[in-house]
Amino acid sequence: MAIDYFGHCACELAETRQRLAYLRRQRPEWYGVVLELHEPSDPGPFGVEIALEFGIAARCRFLMHVLDKQRLAAVGDAVEFVYRVFGTDSLVVTCATDTIRPPLAKYEAMDIGEPPETATRSR
């Protein structure tokens, strides 16, 4: 059985990508080993509606897939660190898409030392 979490995020796609990259760099023992962080995507109208029910105006969402079920004890810490990096005003994490996995505390978005991308990428 797969165990998936979704991050419903109020940040723009570019900022969300930067924060996910920061998570991977800061905790490689979690992200890519215990949890796979997938790239963010547009939530679509259904995803926006779901996120609003959880109290957040999502601009994007991303999947966090549990890779190592032998290390489930580390999953809680890994998900909590995601909340710390994004801030609880910008993120709601759900188990699948129906149950909130609440943070243990309220967090301000972490300063990750990178300005958000502002330039559009050339095609």
Evaluate whether residue 108 is within a structural domain.
no
Whole-structure pTM value: 0.89
pLDDT value at position 73? 87
Evaluate whether residue 35 is within a structural domain.
yes
Q: Which two tokens stand for residue 60?
A: 């994007």
Domain membership of residue 76 as a residue range: 4-9+17-89
Instruction: Give the chain's domain count.
Output: 1
Q: Per residue in 30-39, pLDDT tens?
A: 999 999 999 9
What is the distance between the alpha carbons of residues 5 and 63, in angstroms, rounded to a whole number?
6
Evaluate whether residue 39 is within a structural domain.
yes
Band (115; pLDDT cuts 50, 70, 90): low
Evaluate whether residue 114 is within a structural domain.
no
Sheet strands side by side (includes 91-95): 35-37, 60-66, 4-9, 91-95, 99-100
pLDDT value at position 98? 84
Evaluate whether residue 107 is within a structural domain.
no
Q: Domain of 59: which CATH number?
A: 3.30.70.2920
